[in-house]
Amino acid sequence: MSKATAEHTAAPPRRVFLFLQGPHGPFFHRLGAMLRRTGAAVWRVGFNAGDRAFWFHGESYLPFTDAPEDWPAHLAALLDEKRVTDLVLYGDTRSIHAEAVAEARRRGLRIHVFEEGYMRPYWVTYERGGANGHSRLMEMGVGDMRDALERSDMEAPLPPGHWGDMRQHIFYGALYHWFVMFRNGDYAGFRAHRDLPVAREFQLYLKRLLLMPLTRLERALETLRIRRGGYPYHLVLLQLEHDSSFRQHSPFDSMADFVDLVLEGFAKGAPGHHHLVFKAHPLENGQVPLRRMIATSARRLGIADRVHFVPGGKLAKLLDDARSAVTVNSTAGQQVLWRGIPLRTFGRAVYAKPEFVSDQPLPEFFAQPTRPDSRAYKDYRRYLLETSQIPGGFYASRGRRQLLRQVVDMMLSPHDPYDALRNGTAAPRQQLRLVR
């Protein structure tokens, strides 16, 4: 064999994946195990006992027990020692992840970012380099997406009618925080990326699990009253105040600021027979007293009899009859646009394109909202489902299996999901199935 032939047939350099923090539960462990079966090396840095509890391959676990200030130097040494080629993480805004992403970019490493689906909960987001406000989608126009779609004639799938991931999500969250609260002795330098103490967060998760039947009943009754009220209503999609999309990619310091702005706009512009419905995030845990905060502001503005609060749950029943919707940058805005309902946003969001998101002042929006360009949104939605949105979920076992069938090959590909579609190398997408 000639030297040129030998060089041509030489095996590619071995991939070395370094995992940081992932979604609660065993998804990252399962993903690492499958990558290891491809011949890649896989390592996991754990920052607390919750990280350790869900990583079952002890030989590849690397505890970080020092102070957060020591993390950048520790990471740089680790990247050198393990000869890391790929960084894997869930979300890119918490400080340990943001620092790791910056270092990985300096070194030219591949950065694999997982997030909850932009069209959650039926899909998971997988991107390279960044997600949400750091996603490549932020710089793309609908025209660019239409050009890329010329290679595809896939029909965009409809979401299933039922979903079974929420209880598992809450369960794994509670269990994770139990380990951090009671088994964290080896991680003296650990600091949570949220301001809320871990013990308090565990209490809120546990309370939410215990009160789920009562909350479900309250939600059903309030939704029924609204739907039978016979009045036009506008929907406000609330978010978790500690969520990275709200904290990093919005103009508000607190949810109270957003609530006051919306109520004042509604009081000034909405017709007198219209109502306003605030819907809490499905994972809202009571950390922020939303109900009391909304009621106090509504009374001050003299519109208390026209303002309603729904504690979490699914969005579809409320959206079916909504006149419009307002949010900071919630991914639930995608469900609004899919139905052709006018939407007003205030933060950076991957779907906040001028073709289908209003920029009207709030009083004007509530008086006469402009409708989205539904054709443009359908092209946008199809583009996401052909690229970064993968059927499945992090928390339910069937959802993990469905996700793993596709995402490992996407991680091993030389192209990110967006370039793969344009280059014609994207794998065919699975049909969306009910995940329980």
CATH match of 231-380 with 3.40.50: yes
**46 by DSSP, 3-state: which?**
strand
Q: Which pLDDT score, from 0 to 100, does residue 219 have?
A: 81
The span from the CA of 30 to the CA of 41, in Å, is 14
At 243 the pLDDT is 77
Check for a shared fold between 16-167+389-423 and 231-380.
Answer: yes
Q: Which residues pair with 344 in a beta bridge?
A: 326, 358
pLDDT of 395 reads 94
From 3.30.70, 1.10.1740, 3.30.450, 3.40.50, which CATH number describes the 16-167+389-423 domain?
3.40.50
Nearest residue to 168 (alpha-carbon basis) of 332, 389, 397: 397
pLDDT, block means (10 residues), the chain with 436 residues? 50 88 97 98 97 97 96 98 98 95 98 92 92 95 94 66 69 90 90 66 66 76 91 95 82 94 98 97 78 96 96 86 96 93 96 96 98 96 94 93 96 96 80 48
The domain locations on the chain are 16-167+389-423, 231-380
Contact residues for 151 (Cβ-Cβ < 8 A; gap 6+): 421, 422, 424
Sequence-distant (6+) residues with CB within 8 A of 207 are 285, 286
Do residues 266 and 235 make contact, with C-beta atoms less than 8 angstroms apart? no
The β-bridge partners of 191 are none
Question: What pLDDT is attached to residue 434?
Answer: 44
Token pair in block for residue 40? 């890649």
Beta bridge partners of 41: 16
